[in-house]
Amino acid sequence: MSGLIDAIGPAVIIALVKVLVTFVMLLGITLLVVWAERKIIADMQSRVGPNRWGPFGLLQTLADGIKLFFKEDFRPRTADRWTYAIAPIATMVPAFLAFAVVPFGNEVTIAGHPINFIVSDLNIGILYFLAMGSLGVYGIVLAGWASGSKYPLLGAIRSSAQLISYEIALGLSLVPIALVAHSLSTLDIVGAQAGTIRNVTFFDGIPVLEQVANIFRYVPNWYIWSQWPAFAIFLVAGIAETNRPPFDLPEAETELVQGFSTEYGGIRFAMFYLGEYIHVVVISAMAVTLFFGGWSGPGFDFLPWLWPLFWFFFKTALFVYLFVWLRATLPRLRYDRLMWLGWKRLIPAALLWIMVTAVVNTEGVSRNVRLGVFAALFLLVLAVVLRGDPRLKEAVTPQRRRTQGRLSRGAA
């Protein structure tokens, strides 16, 4: 055995084991997430949810998956044979790949080899994550096109338009993170968020607040505090990228009968489903990594390697819960509203936030310029809010009523 390890090299063995562990872990997480989603939604709708297979119905997803292996796997007469077969794989594989840059635990040393809980620490981690998200579009487009049928094609065209629209906002929302972290590597970004907030000098000299500011010594140094606008854009665009409600236009059952996957059944459909859930996990994990300090959290002497893993999965689970919660709460967006949100709100907001972050963080920009930027930003937000919300507008100028034309243009 040691001869084999020497021949291939321990690094390759470590890489293989990491890949295998991550892959199996993702499959396991998917089983759990599907089960959790069904249970949570059932609970929110006063139902019981799956409760037959295993304790609390935990094995329900596994049973469903096995059942799908035995389902007839026919293909429409009009389908393009090979493209039709490849499309589910092309959707699923990038979802798995995107997880490769997510660090899910602190470094440990096993048999003298330092091992990071990350498949590969690429120096362009964020770009890689965005690229894998983009590749997922191919699977959907190919699936819709190859089916040779009306609804899948319409669904695929629509969803590709949705995905590329929100991809811009997603990409722009992560530029400020690269600005403040000076790196695109996810390990560096998690490292930059380690510890707690220190050196808060803003309240120095003010009697009571000076004491209160001490509380910052216990607040973790996460990017969410300074980068919450970027996080808001990231979250909305991320949910849109996963095709989850309220952005599940690609599979709008009521109008497109499942959209791009209408003609898919059996195990091929399971691949699309698997890809979607992996994507949910990846977006949640990325939100945790980039904005919530990744695996950092209070550790204890008992099993020191376990706590980072625990904190990472705990935070990720909270985000997955948010995804489920949104599905149970919000209705699906209308298509023109979807495009309006992506192109006319998220993209300008993301661009603006990049510029604000850059101006505030660049060395050599005077304090007056920074204050001016904040004042201008505040006025702009105020103007947008007052112009955008009819109720606020009415509150400011009560005699002006909302007009019908304004409503139908959807400018509110």
In the window 41-70, what residues touch other proteins (CB under 8 A)? Answer: 68-70
Pull the structure tokens for residue 355. Answer: 């510029």
CB of 347 to other proteins, least distance (A): 7
User: 348: which residues sit within 8 A by CB, 6+ positions away?
Assistant: none
Among 5, 56, 110, 150, binds other proteins (CB under 8 A): 150
Q: How far apart are CA 105 and CA 369, in angstroms?
A: 40
Contact assessment for residue 87 and residue 263, using Cβ atoms and an 8 Å cutoff: no
Pull the structure tokens for residue 122. Answer: 């690429």
For other proteins, the closer of residues 57 and 242 by Cβ is 242
Among 37, 241, 263, 276, binds other proteins (CB under 8 A): 263
The site for other proteins, by CB under 8 A, has a size of 91
For other proteins, the closer of residues 204 and 336 by Cβ is 336
Among 359, 370, 377, 390, binds other proteins (CB under 8 A): 359
Reference 381, options 349, 411, 341; nearest CA is 349
In the window 360-379, what residues touch other proteins (CB under 8 A)? Answer: 361-365
For other proteins, the closer of residues 78 and 211 by Cβ is 78
CB of 290 to other proteins, least distance (A): 13
| Chain position carrying tokens 């300008």 | 348
For other proteins, the closer of residues 47 and 150 by Cβ is 150
CB of 139 to other proteins, least distance (A): 11
Binding segment for other proteins (CB under 8 A), chosen from 14-22, 234-242, 299-307, 377-385, is 14-22
Among 117, 151, 223, 295, binds other proteins (CB under 8 A): 151
Contacts with other proteins, 71-90, as mask; x by CB under 8 A: xxxxxxxxxx--x-x--xx-
CB of 84 to other proteins, least distance (A): 8
Distance of alpha carbon 102 from the chain centroid: 12
Q: How far apart are CA 341 and CA 329, in angstroms?
A: 19
Among 31, 34, 100, 249, binds other proteins (CB under 8 A): 100
- Say whether residue 135 binds other proteins (CB under 8 A): no
Q: How far apart are CA 142 and CA 84, in angstroms?
A: 7
In the window 231-260, what residues touch other proteins (CB under 8 A)? Answer: 257
For other proteins, the closer of residues 150 and 217 by Cβ is 150
In the window 285-344, what residues touch other proteins (CB under 8 A)? Answer: 335-336, 339-340, 343-344
- Say whether residue 387 binds other proteins (CB under 8 A): no
CB of 185 to other proteins, least distance (A): 10
Pull the structure tokens for residue 231. Answer: 């996080």
CB of 273 to other proteins, least distance (A): 12
Among 267, 306, 317, 377, binds other proteins (CB under 8 A): 267
